[in-house]
Amino acid sequence: MTGSISTSWLLLSPSNSKPLSSSDSYSFIATLKPFRYYPFQSLSSNRISSISPSPSLRIRSGIRELRERIDSVKSTQKITEAMRLVAAARVRRAQDAVIKCRPFTETLVEVLYSINRCAQLEDIDFPLSVVRPVKRVALVVVTGDKGLCGGFNNAVIKKATLRVQELKQRGIDCVVISVGKKGNAYFSRRDEIEVDKCIEGGGVFPTTKEAQVIADDVFSLFVSEEVDKVELVYTKFVSLIKSDPVIHTLLPLSMKGESRDMKGVCVDAMEDEMFRLTSKDGKLAVERTKLEVEKPEVSPLMQFEQDPVQILDAMMPLYLNSQILRALQESLASELASRMNAMSNATDNAVELKKNLTMAYNRARQAKITGELLEIVAGAEALRES
């Protein structure tokens, strides 16, 4: 027929040059990355097979499934974006609270150290500053109440677990006071770790009331000599993109390096020291360098109207409450910053996945339309030849 374009060659098999019927099945495979056209390789049993990529990058879905998955990714993107905005709005307030709290707590600790030093020179015994041989240590582990914040909870739980293992290797018993739902769920499933109490956060931002509950428990454990040392394990807020899990000695109120076990070995955490790898006798050795920090001391000419023990008794509840409240604030700011970054990455991944799925959907739809057109053209060509 003049002017007609024959397209029967599109449906011919190289082996037998026989057109494919409309009942033959086609398989179209859309991939996430990279998107490229895979040429037809073989024709067996009237079925077209193509080169398939790795199974992890393969999308074997129909047009309807791809459309539903695109809608699901869009919904997930809205959720992650909303969570990112909420975390970004809350992290500013938490960051301000941390910055404002640090000068007060640091100055209070310096004053208490100075008063305690003066009291020790006058042979005044104060229960919370008594350094006993360490037989049992209490760890106050501060985690978050919610997930979807990257590796925030895993990092502080891992830090606490390593500290427990380190103490047990030295023959020192350990008891955990867990603060936060994630830590409570973890330690409640560990029979090898003794848990004294599990405390959950009560509000959006930590308050002195929540810190007081933890401080009362810590105070009773130390004064009753059930534990000889109390340590805080929390995440220190450094910046919006960085936070570090740290260990901070809470009780006894003494300088670092004075808490020792029955054998006289220091049991303080090594994070307060700076390590250097050096060469000694042809081997690598570790040198520890103490960081000396100048602190303002109480003038020896200063006289107290009240007994130093009474002053310490009045200030110690404030010290415990402020230190625990600071740990809660630092942990919350680190959690919000980690959640903001995690949700930002999740939103970016959702955008990329939606783009890839849309491209796969368009290719599958185009392949389906092309197949239908080929069937129509082949039918028309067969009618014309007959």
- State the pLDDT at residue 339: 93
- State the pLDDT at residue 47: 35
- State the pLDDT at residue 225: 87
Among candidates 373, 182, 336, 174, which has minimal Cα distance to 269? Answer: 174
Work out the number of other CB atoms within 10 angstroms of the CB of residue 336. 25
- State the pLDDT at residue 191: 87
The single residue of 149, 174, 198, 266 carrying the catalytic annotation is 149
* pLDDT tens over the chain, length 386 residues: 444 333 333 333 344 444 444 344 333 333 344 434 333 333 333 333 333 344 444 555 688 888 999 999 999 999 999 999 999 999 988 988 888 888 888 888 777 777 777 666 666 666 777 778 888 999 999 999 888 898 899 999 999 999 999 999 888 899 999 999 999 999 989 888 888 888 887 667 888 888 988 998 998 898 888 998 899 999 999 888 888 999 988 888 776 556 777 777 777 766 643 333 334 444 434 444 443 444 445 555 556 666 767 777 778 888 889 889 999 999 999 999 999 999 999 999 999 999 999 999 999 899 889 998 999 999 888 888 87
- Euclidean distance between CA atoms 201 and 179, whole angstroms: 7
Burial class (CB in 10 A: 0-12, 13-18, 19+), 318: middle
- State the pLDDT at residue 315: 80
- State the pLDDT at residue 319: 86
Work out the number of other CB atoms within 10 angstroms of the CB of residue 51. 11
- State the pLDDT at residue 196: 87
Render pLDDT for 140-164 as a digit per residue (tens, 0 to 9): 999 998 888 988 999 999 999 999 9
Which amino acid makes up residue 285?
Answer: A
The answer to whether residues 122 and 382 touch, using CB atoms and an 8 Å cutoff, is: no
- State the pLDDT at residue 301: 53
CA angle (253, 257, 263) in 5-degree steps: 110
- Euclidean distance between CA atoms 267 and 323, whole angstroms: 21
Query: Would you say the C-alpha torsion 185, 227, 122, 290 has a positive or negative sign?
Result: negative
Q: Name 19's Cβ contacts closer than 8 Å, sequence gap at least 6.
A: 8, 11, 12, 378, 382
- Pair of tokens at residue 40: 């037809």
User: Rounded to whole angstroms, what are the CA distances from 363 to 24, 81, 162?
Assistant: 20, 28, 51
Cα torsion 207, 213, 214, 217 to 10°: value is 170
Residue 266 is among the residues annotated as catalytic for this protein? no
- State the pLDDT at residue 56: 41
- State the pLDDT at residue 100: 87
Half-sphere exposure of 188 (CA within 13 A, CB side): 10
The answer to whether residues 197 and 319 touch, using CB atoms and an 8 Å cutoff, is: no
- Euclidean distance between CA atoms 244 and 152, whole angstroms: 9
Assign 371 to helix, strand or coil.
helix
Half-sphere exposure of 253 (CA within 13 A, CB side): 27
